[in-house]
Chains A and B, each alone.
Chain A
Amino acid sequence: SQQGEEDPQALSIQEGENATMNCSYKTSINNLQWYRQNSGRGLVHLILIRSNEREKHSGRLRVTLDTSKKSSSLLITASRAADTASYFCATSTNTGFQKLVFGTGTRLLVSP
């Protein structure tokens, strides 16, 4: 089984709209992190949510975590063309030093 599956795989929206991406995972976790990757570039850390937290905000980002459903969502409000990127969730499980297990990612395209 795979840890960390995002959906949708691709999302295309207009500037100003909200974008919601979902992540599901299979094992218990300590935290879940969201990263952004611009095409062919590095991974930029967006937000970390602990397993005992349900919601977290950072600027235009809102992350929720439902450990009973083993799922998380990332909401980007009032999207901009610069938000165009791939977004990954990554889970940190109960063992190991920050061994992050990444999902498959959602490719977000924000059109002007």
Chain B
Amino acid sequence: EPEVTQTPSHQVTQMGQEVILRCVPISNHLYFYWYRQILGQKVEFLVSFYNNEISEKSEIFDDQFSVERPDGSNFTLKIRSTKLEDSAMYFCASSGTGGMNTEAFFGQGTRLTVV
């Protein structure tokens, strides 16, 4: 069964360093998303991406964050200068259409720890 894959599963980084989280969405999907979940809290929407541009972003997704689809398969989230509060589980998701009634499929997540 097709699935969204994320790498790495766990990343530890020093505060102020840049990190890139990688995702391979389901191959025929067109819409891509990043969400995050701080330990013990809700899953929060960060950004959606379609047709090589951001379609929507939350207030969390400030200038420190960027997304890119560098080739036909990968979708990346970059955090330019990590802060302690960026420590969270980051989930990539994809859907076949951005339509109102389609399922979003999530990857297993990357646990980011900023020290």
Contacts and interface: CB of A to CB of B under 8 A. Distances in A.
Interface of A: 4, 30-31, 33, 35, 40-45, 48, 50, 88, 90, 92, 94, 96-105
Closest 5 CB pairs of A and B: A97-B98, A42-B108, A30-B100, A43-B106, A102-B43
Given A88-B43, A99-B45, A104-B42, A50 B101 contact: yes
Given A31-B100, A43-B91, A103-B42, A98 B33 contact: yes
Contacts of A103: 42
A100 B100 CA distance: 10
Nearest to A49: B101
B103 interface: yes
B106 A99 contact: no
A39 to B, nearest CB: 11
B31 interface: yes
Contacts, number: 69
B48 to A, nearest CB: 4
Contacts of B65: none
A103 B43 CA distance: 8
Contacts of B95: 97-98
A90 B35 CA distance: 12
A96 to B, nearest CB: 5
Nearest to B106: A43
A97 B55 contact: yes
B114 interface: no
Q: Is the interface of B mostly helix, strand, loop or mixed?
A: strand
Contacts of B102: 48, 98
B108 to A, nearest CB: 4
B32 to A, nearest CB: 9
B109 A41 contact: yes
Nearest to B109: A42
Interface string B74-93: 00000000000000010101
Contact of A97 (B56, B103, B107): B56
Contact of B106 (A42, A94, A97): A42
20 contacts: A4-B42, A31-B100, A31-B101, A33-B103, A33-B104, A35-B106, A42-B106, A42-B107, A43-B43, A43-B106, A50-B101, A90-B43, A92-B101, A94-B100, A96-B48, A96-B56, A97-B55, A97-B95, A98-B93, A98-B98
